[in-house]
Structures are given as structure tokens and as C-alpha cells.
Amino acid sequence: MVRLRAGRVRAERRRHEQRVLHQVVAWCLAYPDEQLLAQLPVLGAALGELEADDHGLAELIDLLAARPLAESQRVYVELFDLDRKHALHLSYWTDGDTRRRGEALTRFKEAYRASGHLVQTQGELPDHLCLVLEFAALVDPEAGCALLQQYRASLELLRLALLDAGTPYAAALAAVCSTLPGPSPADRAAAMALAGPPPTESVGLEPFDPRLLPMADPEVTR
């Protein structure tokens, strides 16, 4: 009985730490603003209570706290908004700009509705990583983790792309991937293998696998 009780305590601890990591990463990957700056000490304190490796999230939080907000905003826009190679929308990596992506977005919405909670998308598409992470952290951990696992290939490809870019934001993806079963793939070929075959029909895409080389967006403004 003692061993069973200790096992349950450890399992509950792991689930708690997983939810904390998901929430912290959701904040760290959000567009930097005054609200994020105010939350950084709280996020750092939360990480400090974890037993698990934060994979460099603490360093990312320290950087966001030390860097001028305007610079953080510029870096974020250039990295995530102007470059599809770092897209934060999970189904973009697997479905590109194809018609079947609409079906994928519908599945995200259905998962949110099935939870019985009102999930505010705040103008974002439902597959935005920050939304999925907050859903997993605050609403339905089981359903949220299932979505993350379903799009494991997207997460790993984004992690590798951020590593290639040499950005501290790669730590955020490493932390998310560490909460999912099994080790992360070592390279893009192995990550691609997780995704299965590419879309057979494309709308507005060049004839390459969009998960391997996502298209660069035309310049946009936030």
C-alpha cells in the first residue's frame, strides 16, 4: 500500500509539473507586452519549484525580463509573424495551406467544445500553440495532451527550426516536447517521419512538402 501511495503521489506530481510547464510555455510564446512582463517573476518562481528540467526556460524568462520590450517585440514579430519556418500554428506544419487544414482546425474546435468549457481564442486560429498549451494546462489536460501528441511532428519540426535559428525560444519547444512520451527525434528527417505522408492536394503552395520548408509569408504588421 505504501508503494502504491508513493507511486500515485509521484504520478500526481508529474501531472502537476506538466501543467505548470505548459502554462509557462504558453506565456513565453505569447507576443511580448506589458502583461507578459508583469508575469515573468511569477513564471520564474513557478519554474523554480519544479523538479523536472526546464530545458532553458529560466534563461528565456531572464532574457525577456532584461531586454527592452520594444526589442523583444521586434524579435518576436520577425521570428514568428514574418517567417513561416517558425509557424506557431500546429496544423500548418502537417497540412500547409490546403483544404484539409480546415478539417484539422475543426477538430481543434471540437476538442475545445467537448471539454464543456468556453475556450476564448482571442482572434487566433484554434491550432495556435499557445491556445493548445493553455487548454492543456487549465481546462482539460488529457484532451490537451492528446492534441499535442497528435501534432508531435509539428512540435518537433518547430523545435528544430528554432534551434537552427539559434533563438532562446527553442527552449520553450524543448520543454513542451519533454512532456510527451518518448525521446525527441534527433533531426528533421526523423521528425518528418512522425508526420506521415504530405498533403496530396495543395492550394497556394509550391510543389514541396510544406512541413519541411514552410513558405515565408509576405511582410505583415501586427
Residue 89 phi/psi, 5-degree rounding, is -95, 115
Work out the burial of residue 170: count CB atoms within 10 Å of its CB; fewer than 13 is exposed, 13-18 middle, 19 or more buried. buried
Beta bridge mates, 128: 89
Query: What is the rounded average pLDDT for all residues in the chain?
Result: 84
Q: Does residue 11 carry a pLDDT above 50?
A: yes
Q: Does residue 55 carry a pLDDT above 90?
A: no
Lowest mean pLDDT among 4-13, 44-53, 97-106, 158-167: 4-13
Q: How many CA atoms lie within 13 A of 205 on its CB side?
A: 25
Q: Which pLDDT value is given to residue 101?
A: 87
Average pLDDT over residues 33-43: 96
Q: What is the band of 9 on the pLDDT scale with cuts at 50, 70, 90?
A: low
Query: What's the rounded Cα separation, in Å, for the pair 41 and 36?
Result: 10
Q: Which pLDDT value is given to residue 207?
A: 34
Query: What's the rounded Cα separation, in Å, for the pair 148 and 163?
Result: 20
pLDDT, greater one: 159 or 187: 159
Beta bridge mates, 89: 128
Average pLDDT over residues 57-69: 96
Q: Is the dihedral of CA 179, 180, 185, 189 positive or negative?
A: negative
| Residue 212 CB partners (closer than 8 Å, separation 6+) | 157, 188, 192
Query: What's the rounded Cα separation, in Å, for the pair 218 and 197?
Result: 27
DSSP helix/strand/coil, 110: helix
pLDDT, greater one: 32 or 16: 32
Q: Which pLDDT value is given to residue 191?
A: 80
Cβ–Cβ < 8 Å for 152, 167: no
Average pLDDT over residues 142-170: 95
Query: What's the rounded Cα separation, in Å, for the pair 211 and 111?
Result: 23
Q: 2-195 maps to which CATH number?
A: 1.10.3480
Q: Does residue 193 carry a pLDDT above 90?
A: no
DSSP helix/strand/coil, 126: coil
Q: Which pLDDT value is given to residue 54?
A: 79
Q: What is the band of 203 on the pLDDT scale with cuts at 50, 70, 90?
A: very low
Q: What is the band of 197 on the pLDDT scale with cuts at 50, 70, 90?
A: low
Q: Which pLDDT value is given to residue 5?
A: 61
Q: What is the band of 96 on the pLDDT scale with cuts at 50, 70, 90?
A: confident
Q: Which pLDDT value is given to residue 3?
A: 61
| 172-189: b (≥16 Cβ within 10 Å) or e | bbbbbbebeeeebbeebe
Average pLDDT over residues 116-130: 82
Tell me which residue of 220, 212, 209, 219 sits closest to 98, measured CA to CA: 209
